[in-house]
Structure 1
């Protein structure tokens, strides 16, 4: 039991240094690739719809030292409303008290959301498959396994096949904010059949376009002969993350094909086109995450393109 454990709301930018320090101390022990910087935290916290006063909680000991941090990412659209709970606890304070308090805080916050929006809610959390301590906390708090995911990698030193697009489709770089509504419609139509889909909003998309990490040259779309946005693939390269890990990696952040344009090779063509661009940008390894039960066969696509599994993770859920 931690003596005089106290919780408080996020107090703004003055808390950023302490939060970043806590997360980086945890990263030194856990090696979860979850280190951060103040600028990265600001980008995370300032997303549209984030209620900073209610969606972040900090725990301090009797000396005022930050020992725990948690945040909720709450879906803007759809029902049930999902609250993704993410928390970190100082390695010297992992006796269970802060972890249980973090889960209880998340439950209370999601009950508020349920009352305010008049909708059903669920509390969710990610965990690495080998993180036995975190799995124990979640299961003891009433969570159950909901879905399995894996992180995959591919060396870009290996040959990359030429992207072959079906007749009538053109590969383009996304034109920009003026076409945000068309891109968001494509995204939502592409993932409407997928697990845990919540419609993307134009506001959120435009926020992402304005991030310093956004690279237009890695934002690709396939356009049909009639001008319809049919498929997309977006990548990112984070110099800060590469510096922390010592690895030269780039991400395949999202890949999708909208309804009515599937099973004709667009997904594979988009993937290969982005891999080529990442290689040209000097990236050594491409990384992506995938739902192992993805209904569109994404796992098979990635394996056929040379990706292999490097990490397993589990999505847990609790009805609130």
Structure 2
């Protein structure tokens, strides 16, 4: 067994070592999980993240970072979810550090559950081809909870023009002054979807302030009475494109609020988002989808030219 010690996150001084670990793993695993110091810094600075408690590092006897884990904990609700993200240096993958990361996640989530007085679940995403990670999670008592697809579409292929239903106007999101209306629309759009946790205005405003945010890629559909009815937000990460060598953009968020579905708004917003990405010079559009989405999202995406390029699995453990 390796001689390993764990410690909490020490601040920005740890970012370089964590990024190096992540990229060392990526060189071996090829899972598109590389990162940079700036990307990690942005992720760690999200609202409601308690860095002193929600990050753990593991080092070998020589002080080299060999393991890293991060918990993203949902806002209070009937059930609190903790999404566990962890990587272990390929030369240290004997199972001990991986198991320690899971135990750490369980311990932290029990603490959260005690503080909030509500049930908690520990969750983790895994690429469907990552047999080692799947083995670790299943050996630690996780079970499969949901399947997802990553889909892609070449933007060199023709894109149909969006047809907005009568009475609705497609326009750019006005800006931070309308944050509460946008967040209310988002939550009403996903309230009946799997594992929904309400978005907060604080988190939304944080996202608007990020360097990657582009107003020209943020679209909404507005009803005649002024109600925000549907949305499509796309994103381009220059750092990710440079790292992978691929010119891609994401349809990050697409939804239609309850009461406005099945009239063509979702298709119109998606097509408009694809046109925006193409105008920005992107070659390939990427979107993620829940394979059991109750509103036929998979069929919509396929109908406009997307195809599946990767499967992923959500695992869960009751703690």
TM-score by length of 2: 0.99
Indicate the residue corresponding to 1:105 in structure 2: 104
Could you tell me whether the CA contact under 8 Å between 2:160 and 2:271 is conserved in 1? yes
Could you tell me whether the CA contact under 8 Å between 1:77 and 1:199 is conserved in 2? no
SS in structure 2 at match of 1:54: helix
Partners in 2 of 1:280 and 1:208 — Cα distance? 23
1:178-257 correspondence to structure 2 within 5 Å: 178-257=177-256
Could you tell me whether the CA contact under 8 Å between 1:149 and 1:291 is conserved in 2? yes
Partners in 2 of 1:203 and 1:77 — Cα distance? 15
SS in structure 1 at match of 2:18: helix
Listed as ranges, the gaps of 5+ residues in structure 2 are none
Q: CA RMSD in A?
A: 0.5
Could you tell me whether the CA contact under 8 Å between 1:60 and 1:66 is conserved in 2? yes
2:29 maps to 1:30: yes
Could you tell me whether the CA contact under 8 Å between 2:76 and 2:116 is conserved in 1? no
Q: Structure 1 residue 76: deviation in Å?
A: 1.0
Q: Structure 1 residue 7: deviation in Å?
A: 0.4
Q: Structure 1 residue 77: deviation in Å?
A: 3.5
Q: Deviations over 1:86-121 (max 9, x none)?
A: 000001000101000000000000000000010100
Q: Structure 1 residue 34: deviation in Å?
A: 1.1
TM-score by length of 1: 0.99
Partners in 1 of 2:72 and 2:31 — Cα distance? 19
Indicate the residue corresponding to 2:291 in structure 1: 292
Partners in 2 of 1:280 and 1:78 — Cα distance? 40
Indicate the residue corresponding to 2:263 in structure 1: 264
Indicate the residue corresponding to 1:174 in structure 2: 173
2:48 maps to 1:54: no
Partners in 1 of 2:296 and 2:78 — Cα distance? 25
Partners in 1 of 2:217 and 2:309 — Cα distance? 23
Indicate the residue corresponding to 1:96 in structure 2: 95
Q: Structure 1 residue 240: deviation in Å?
A: 0.3
Partners in 2 of 1:110 and 1:313 — Cα distance? 23
Q: Structure 1 residue 78: deviation in Å?
A: 2.2
Q: Structure 1 residue 130: deviation in Å?
A: 1.1
2:23 maps to 1:21: no
Partners in 2 of 1:197 and 1:57 — Cα distance? 26
Indicate the residue corresponding to 1:40 in structure 2: 39
Aligned residues: 319
Partners in 2 of 1:308 and 1:97 — Cα distance? 38
Q: Deviations over 1:166-224 (max 9, x none)?
A: 00100110000000000000000000010000000000000000000001100100000
Could you tell me whether the CA contact under 8 Å between 1:166 and 1:264 is conserved in 2? yes
Indicate the residue corresponding to 1:2 in structure 2: 2
